[in-house]
Amino acid sequence: MSRKNWMEYIVTEEDTGMNVEQIVRQKMNVSGRMMQRLTRSKGILLNRKQPFLERQVKTGDQIAVRVVDRQPLHDVPSTSVERVIAQENVTPIEILYEDDHLLIVNKPAGMMVHPIKHEQSGTLVHILADLFLAKGQQVSFHPVHRLDKETSGAILVAKNSYGHQLADRLLREGGIHREYLAVVNGLLADDAGTIDAPIGRDSRHPTKRRVTTGGDHAVTHYEVTERSADMSLVRVWLETGRTHQIRVHFGHIGHPLAGDTMYGAARGLMRRQALHASSLRFAHPVLQEEIAVTAPLPTDMKRLIQAEFK
């Protein structure tokens, strides 16, 4: 049994009286949905054998759960061995961090994170599948959070269902610190501040969002790092993660992001919104160590910042 494919737990004296299901749920942090999936696929072992979930454990027992998804080759999204072999080079993606469960990549602007239509290709999920398949690895990728198509920077992706459910729980509990760098139009009056305004759909536009009574709770924190005659460079971090949150909030207070024509800015040096996910920081839910990653700025953001603030 490969340690890479299974997560193992050794029962201690403190676990006396617990059964297999309780160990898997409470000690190995497996969600109810994943528990059902593992049960159906025989992905839970007690001392290398299929157990009854109600069976009580004893000190020294070894419990293992499969953490690498079984994925038949024909189910790899929008790709195949022939397609990958035929490509001399797949789209380069900068990997900022990787372990058996999680991956952090520096997503380029202009790339969607995942497909919204079955026939769609060229998304981050597809390209990662291509890259790993070209190396002989078949991986099922699960984005833990999202970035807009035209937003660049660090994004956390799980390499299996186990990593995904742990990282998703961490995200929902506020354990993942996401920081952004943005250039906004105009001069922000305060050096630091918080925008607390609910966000909902804009009924006049299929994808646009707006601040609206009855929308979802949304909180954005910011700190101004530089000002020019016409723009402010801001460090931004999120307390919530609503669609277009940073773009909507700064547009709402009259300082839309440079290049963000959807939320009131004019095009200039930027042909997209001037927003980059600059860093991610969290306590790894499996390795129990601090992970901190910084994503280098893309060329267009560098050019704008140098032209406006240097």
Q: Which pLDDT score is estimated for 90?
A: 55
User: How far is 82 from 238, CA to CA, in rounded Å?
Assistant: 42
The whole-number average pLDDT for the span 76-102 is 63
Q: Are residues 187 and 62 in the same domain?
A: no
The whole-number average pLDDT for the span 210-225 is 96
Range of the domain at 27: 6-66
Q: Which pLDDT score is estimated for 89?
A: 52
Q: Are residues 162 and 196 in the same domain?
A: no
Instruction: Tell me whether residue 38 is in a domain.
Output: yes
Helix 161-172 to helix 32-40 angle, to the nearest 10 degrees? Answer: 170
Whether residue 275 contacts residue 249, with contact meaning beta carbons closer than 8 Å, is answered with: no
**pTM, entire model:** 0.80
Phi, psi torsion values for 8, nearest 5 degrees: -115, 150
Q: What percent of the chain has pLDDT over 90?
A: 55
Q: Which pLDDT score is estimated for 70?
A: 53
Q: Which residues are known to be catalytic?
A: 148
Whether residue 125 contacts residue 141, with contact meaning beta carbons closer than 8 Å, is answered with: yes
Tokens of 295: 């994503």
Question: Going by C-beta distance under 8 Å and a sequence separation of 6 or more, which residues neighbour residue 132?
Answer: 138, 139
Q: Are residues 300 and 277 in the same domain?
A: yes
- Chain length of the chain: 310
Point out the domain boundary residue: 167, 184, 218. 167
Point out the domain boundary residue: 114, 140, 167. 167
Q: Which pLDDT score is estimated for 144?
A: 94
Place of tokens 């186990």: 162
CATH code assigned at 85 = 3.30.2350.10
Our count of domains for the chain comes to 3
User: How far is 296 from 310, CA to CA, in rounded Å?
Assistant: 18
Q: Are residues 203 and 112 in the same domain?
A: no
pLDDT band at 73 (very low <50, low <70, confident <90, very high): very low
On the question of pLDDT at 22 being above 50, the answer is yes
Q: Are residues 204 and 301 in the same domain?
A: yes
C-alpha distances (whole Å) from 49 to each of 13, 62, 63, 174 are: 21, 10, 9, 37
Question: Going by C-beta distance under 8 Å and a sequence separation of 6 or more, which residues neighbour residue 49?
Answer: none
Q: Are residues 96 and 60 in the same domain?
A: no
Q: Are residues 192 and 260 in the same domain?
A: yes
Q: Are residues 45 and 128 in the same domain?
A: no
pLDDT digit string (tens) for 103-153? 999 999 999 998 877 767 789 999 998 888 888 888 889 999 999 999 999
Closest CA to 182 of 278, 309, 113, 271: 278
User: How far is 291 from 176, CA to CA, in rounded Å?
Assistant: 10
Q: Are residues 214 and 304 in the same domain?
A: yes
The secondary structure of 127-195 as a DSSP string is HHHHHHHHTT-----EESS---TT-EEEEEEESSHHHHHHHHHHHHTT-EEEEEEEEEES--SSSEEEE
CA 278 vs. chain centroid, Å, equals 13
User: How far is 226 from 224, CA to CA, in rounded Å?
Assistant: 6
Q: Are residues 181 and 303 in the same domain?
A: yes
What is the 8-class DSSP label of residue 123?
Answer: S
On the question of pLDDT at 231 being above 50, the answer is yes
Q: Which pLDDT score is estimated for 28?
A: 81
pLDDT digit string (tens) for 160-181? 888 888 899 899 889 999 999 9
User: How far is 98 from 78, CA to CA, in rounded Å?
Assistant: 23
Point out the domain boundary residue: 132, 167, 202. 167
Q: Are residues 57 and 102 in the same domain?
A: no
CATH code assigned at 62 = 3.10.290.10
The whole-number average pLDDT for the span 75-96 is 55
Whether residue 293 contacts residue 280, with contact meaning beta carbons closer than 8 Å, is answered with: yes
For residue 20, the surrounding DSSP H or E stretch is helix 20-22
Instruction: Tell me whether residue 39 is in a domain.
Output: yes
Q: Which pLDDT score is estimated for 82?
A: 41
pLDDT band at 4 (very low <50, low <70, confident <90, very high): low
Instruction: Tell me whether residue 136 is in a domain.
Output: yes
Instruction: Tell me whether residue 1 is in a domain.
Output: no
Instruction: Tell me whether residue 28 is in a domain.
Output: yes
Is the CA virtual torsion 109, 227, 255, 213 positive or negative?
A: positive
Q: Are residues 180 and 300 in the same domain?
A: yes
pLDDT band at 196 (very low <50, low <70, confident <90, very high): very high
